[in-house]
Chains A and B, each alone.
Chain A
Amino acid sequence: MMDAGRHPRIKLLTYSEVEDVSGYVGNFRVRVRKKARYVDENECTACGECVKVCPIVRPDEFQQGLSTRRAIYIPFPQAVPSAYVVDIEACLGDNPIACGKCIEVCDKKCIDFDMRDEIVELNVGAIIVATGMDLYDPTALDEYGYTRFENVITSLEFERLISAGGPTGGHFIRLTDGQPPRRIGFVQCVGSRTNNPVRGNPYCSNICCMNTIKDSLQLKDHYPDIDITVFYMDIRAFGKGFEDLFMRSKAAGVRYVRGLPGEVVEDPQTRNLRVFVENTTAGRIEEYELDMLVLSIGAIPRGDSELVKQLLTLSRTPDGFFMEAHPKLKPVDATTKGVFLAGCAESPKDVKDSVTQASAAAARAEVLLSKSKIQVEATTAVVDAAKCRQCGRCAEVCPFSAIRWEKKQVAQVITAACAGCGTCAAECPFDAIEMRHFSDQAIYAQIDAALERDPLSTIVTFACNWCSYAGADTAGTGRMEYPPNARIIRTMCSGRVDADFVWYAFQKGAPVVLVSGCHYADCHYINANRNTVRRVDALWEGLEKYGVRPERLQLEWCSAAKGQRWAKIMREVEELRVHVTAEEVERTTEVLREAKVPLSSQVWKLKAPTPALLHCLRCGYEWREDYSAEKARSEERMCAACRSNSVRVFI
């Protein structure tokens, strides 16, 4: 910690939050809000005079609320930077009538109530996400009585109670009477390894077994005669040196009972706890009287993970932790290029594994930073000046402002800014934009090839590289079987899917077409996939106009981690396909032969919220709500009944 604070090449921005990230691998622009701490961190010597006069008392978060702090405080003695901070919500303020005492006593004059939040702009080539984890709140597991009995504590509270820097100076005592406990119990897997979502998470939190073993040895050091019982379902001591510690704990006399308590009751007189447990090894119900009970709480994803995910367009695995680019071969690369994962942000892990992964992430980042230049994929847009009719539609839809256009000017692509989503190429009414490596001809050729043999059994499927194609990969990795009828055409973004492509597939005899991509929040090209929805809305209206059942065109969002969802989509779309007859397809190819591709949708012309009927093209569920173009852009449509995104809006 101190090393990081002193390092000449590390700029610490504490009490700060990342607010915005733009750019791409090698060239990110980051906006950080450095919150006002009302104390000049460079001048403050941490003398502590201010604390002596501060009249405001608050629970100390660092000590888990087991002691108090003042409104001006230092989080803990070894804090880096070693500077105080004002809890401005609690502080009475600079008003001399109200208070202002700290200002009077500060010799260095470093308390400044005029301090404001500061916005810091950074340019970086790589980003490491080490946002950590939160801990499970055991309130819901009422049988353990955490909220009812003071002598039931969490494993983190245990740490503070036994720490020399803790509220008791390292004298481990009971909270009710200040006496050292003679008998103590530990309950494992609190909030972990359960399929009941109210009682925690399905995964193993990785750290709790060894943490309890460590706690037991620490207690035996403090109080050699203490009686310790650990209630567990499995002890997972899998790491290097871990089994040794487990054996040492057992040799020290710690009792390990296989079974989790079913009930804890408190003796109101002694405040002792009676713990009832089924000892599954002995096959009997046992009762233990204990002075204290420690709940070994599991790890959970941080509450702000969703925000970080959206800032960096990351993905999260079903457990809620950030998803790696590949679970085995790229375990520290995030799904966004130039972003790496370290520590518990990726999954629960102990100090050693966090340090290991952090060094790995640093090495991966260094591979990037040690180059002066990187090559970027040649998948950018190119304007054919001869075909461009200077309408400017491309510049309008480009999420990256990478197309320069002025009235009566041929559009120009700024290649360095172009991320290659292809939504401009899909939008251009004159086919004047070509995507390198994802050309129109190549996509038409793939549609033709997909429908060449037995078209009636073929679901022409467009999948975006980052989410739905990757979701299909995840389904494969997880061996999730589904009907073999989809033929996938990969594009970088669903925004690349030109309405012409879908129309062409129907003209060529496709019974069903599926367009798939990232959820609104996950779009790797900011919001390019809103254009996908607009085009699909127009296509649905157009298909209906020509008497083609609109449900033959399906739209689905599927994130990279959701293999199950992909398999479900495949099964459901196949269900639609089997009901499309050869005659129906023949009629479609005939009516669409000369039909113009529909490009505009009623829905996207709605300026003000208008009463509308929403109809799920998958399951038929219908509901009413006010709808507008703005809503279509900002909110992902999803059927409340079947979770399909193939939802049509009728005005």
Chain B
Amino acid sequence: MAKGNPRIGVFVCDCGLNIAGSVDTEAVKDYAATLPDVVVAVRNKYTCSDPGQAEIRRVIGEHNLNRVVIASCSPRLHEPTFRACVQQAGLNPYLMTMANIREHCSWVTLHDREAATRKAQDIVRVAVAQARWLHPQDEEQLPVTDAALVIGGGVAGIQAALDLADAGHQVYLVEKQPSIGGIMAMLDKTYPTMDCSI
């Protein structure tokens, strides 16, 4: 078990009606509060909004939380948001995990509120179980090679290459054909300006 007793806070998001429209988020919050090591469960209309994040930070301080579960959307969307949020409250960002009750639940169980609510509760329970085993992690720093590869020398590739080069970066522009220009070079005039393409 992780160091010290886990003190887990669960933040259940309505996401307006995106989640609350098909899931009884109040019931999810109440259920979360009964789970082992959960010291507080909060429901919020938009957890990712400024007031939503401010509340997370406030509750972390108030309840001395050392683990956070955000029951909202996919971590592929908002994990960076909430990692930054808990970090601001002094927690290591890896002590936060997300329960995806939107993409994986409310949006795919639209017409059975009971089943969707039950599934959301289960997803939160799984995330809380995971949270108990989260540890602080330090991110390693890696150097960045200050150069870009642009694949394709049509109008998009040319523009991207010019912007990056003008900003001071080395650019390699790779084009399959013997000349850059792409389809654009074949056009006589282009809209909406009605001028030549090259």
B5 at the interface (CB under 8 A from A): no
**Centre residue among A81, A343, A362 by max chain B CB count within 10 A:** A362
Complex CA distance for A492 and B188, rounded to whole angstroms: 49
Does the CB pair A163–B140 fall under 8 Å? Answer: no
A363-B163, A484-B119, A488-B123 known, 6 other contacts, Cβ within 8 Å: A14-B179, A62-B186, A122-B172, A350-B190, A365-B169, A484-B112
Interfacial residues of chain B within 139-166, with CB under 8 A of chain A in the complex: 139-166
Query: Which residue in A13, A308, A343, A373 is a CB contact (below 8 Å) of B155?
Result: A343
Query: Which residue in A7, A74, A214, A370 is a CB contact (below 8 Å) of B191?
Result: A214
Does the CB pair A15–B160 fall under 8 Å? Answer: no
Does the CB pair A369–B146 fall under 8 Å? Answer: yes
Closest CB in chain A relative to B133 CB, distance in Å: 4
A448 at the interface (CB under 8 A from B): yes
A245 at the interface (CB under 8 A from B): yes
Does the CB pair A12–B180 fall under 8 Å? Answer: yes
Chain B residues with Cβ below 8 Å from A159 are 186-188
Chain A interfacial positions (CB closer than 8 Å to B): 1, 3-5, 7-18, 26-28, 30, 32, 37, 62, 64, 74-76, 78-81, 83, 85, 122-133, 135, 156, 159-160, 162-166, 170, 210-211, 213-214, 217-218, 239-242, 244-245, 308, 326, 329, 340, 342-345, 350-352, 354-355, 357-359, 361-363, 365-366, 368-380, 415-416, 436-437, 439, 441-442, 445-446, 448-450, 452-453, 458, 465, 469-470, 472-473, 475-477, 479-482, 484, 487-490, 567
Query: Which residue in A166, A211, A365, A450 is a CB contact (below 8 Å) of B148?
Result: A365
Instruction: Return the chain B residue nearest A486 by Cβ.
Output: B104
- Do A362 and B163 form a contact, CB below 8 Å, given A130-B150, A351-B190? yes
Complex CA distance for A479 and B100, rounded to whole angstroms: 15
Instruction: Return the chain B residue nearest A302 by Cβ.
Output: B152
Does the CB pair B172–A476 fall under 8 Å? Answer: no
Closest CB in chain B relative to A208 CB, distance in Å: 11
Complex CA distance for A446 and B74, rounded to whole angstroms: 17
Query: Which residue in B164, B169, B188 is a CB contact (below 8 Å) of A162?
Result: B188
Does the CB pair A132–B183 fall under 8 Å? Answer: yes
B29 at the interface (CB under 8 A from A): no
**Centre residue among A81, A343, A446 by max chain B CB count within 10 A:** A343
Complex CA distance for A480 and B104, rounded to whole angstroms: 10
B63 at the interface (CB under 8 A from A): no
- Do A351 and B197 form a contact, CB below 8 Å, given A372-B143, A439-B135, A470-B76? yes
Chain A residues with Cβ below 8 Å from B139 are 375-378
B62 at the interface (CB under 8 A from A): no
Chain B interfacial positions (CB closer than 8 Å to A): 74-77, 94, 100, 102-105, 107-112, 115-116, 118-119, 122-123, 125-126, 128-130, 132-135, 137-192, 194, 197-198
Query: Main SS of chain A's interface residues?
Result: mixed
Does the CB pair A10–B149 fall under 8 Å? Answer: no
Closest CB in chain A relative to B75 CB, distance in Å: 7
20 A–B pairs (Cβ distance < 8 Å), ordered by A: A14-B175, A80-B180, A124-B145, A128-B160, A130-B154, A130-B156, A160-B186, A240-B192, A326-B77, A343-B154, A343-B157, A350-B191, A365-B148, A369-B146, A369-B164, A372-B146, A445-B132, A453-B122, A469-B76, A487-B122
Chain B residues with Cβ below 8 Å from A5 are 180
- Do A374 and B142 form a contact, CB below 8 Å, given A15-B177, A156-B186, A445-B129? yes
Complex CA distance for A409 and B149, rounded to whole angstroms: 39
Does the CB pair A358–B107 fall under 8 Å? Answer: no
Does the CB pair B145–A27 fall under 8 Å? Answer: yes
Complex CA distance for A568 and B158, rounded to whole angstroms: 42
